[in-house]
Amino acid sequence: MVVPERRTRADVIAAVTIAVVCLVAAAVVWARADATGTDSVTADSPAPTVVAATQLPGTLRERWHAADSAASRALVAGNVVVTGDEGTVSGRDPLTGEQRWWYRRDMPLCGVEAQWGSVIATYRDQRGCSQTTMLDADTGARSIARSSYMDDAIRLSGDGTYLLALGADRLEMWRSDLVRTLEYGYVDAPVNPNTQPRSGCELRSAASSSSRLAVIERCPDDPGARLTVLAPSPKEATAPEEHGSRLLTAPGADSAEVRVIAVSDAKIAVYYPPTPATATGLAQPARIAVHDGTGNEVSSAALAEPWTDRTTVTRLGSAIYVFTGKTLIALSAATLQPTWTVRDALGTPASMAGRLLVPVADGMLAVDFATGTTVARIAVQRSDYSGDPISTAVLGDTVFERRGGRLYALG
Residue-wise pLDDT tens digits, 284-302: 999 999 999 999 999 999 9
Domain chopping of the chain, boundaries = 39-410
**DSSP-based three-state secondary structure for 79:** coil
Residue 35: per-residue pLDDT: 53
Residue 15: per-residue pLDDT: 47
Residue 287: per-residue pLDDT: 95
Query: Is the pLDDT confidence value at 24 over 50?
Result: no
- 79 CB neighbour count, 10 Å cutoff: 20
Contact 325, 310 (CB under 8 A): yes
Residue 190: per-residue pLDDT: 67
What CATH number belongs to 39-410? 2.130.10.10
How many residues are listed for the chain in this entry?
A: 411
Percent of the chain with pLDDT over 90: 81
The DSSP secondary-structure symbol of 295 reads: S
pLDDT digits (tens, 9 = 90+) for 339-382: 999 999 999 999 999 999 999 998 999 999 999 999 999 999 89
- Least confident range from 51-60, 289-298, 301-310: namely 301-310
Mean pLDDT of 182-205: 88
* Concatenated DSSP letters of 172-216: EEE-TT--EEEEEE--SS-SSTT-SS-SS-EEEEEEE-SS-EEEE
Q: State the average pLDDT for the chain.
A: 90
**DSSP-based three-state secondary structure for 247:** strand
Nearest partner of 198 among 217, 174, 171, judged by Cα: 217
Query: Is the pLDDT confidence value at 45 over 50?
Result: yes
Instruction: Enumerate long-range contacts of 340-344, CB under 8 Å, 24 or more apart.
Output: 340/371, 340/372, 341/304, 341/372, 342/367, 342/372, 342/374
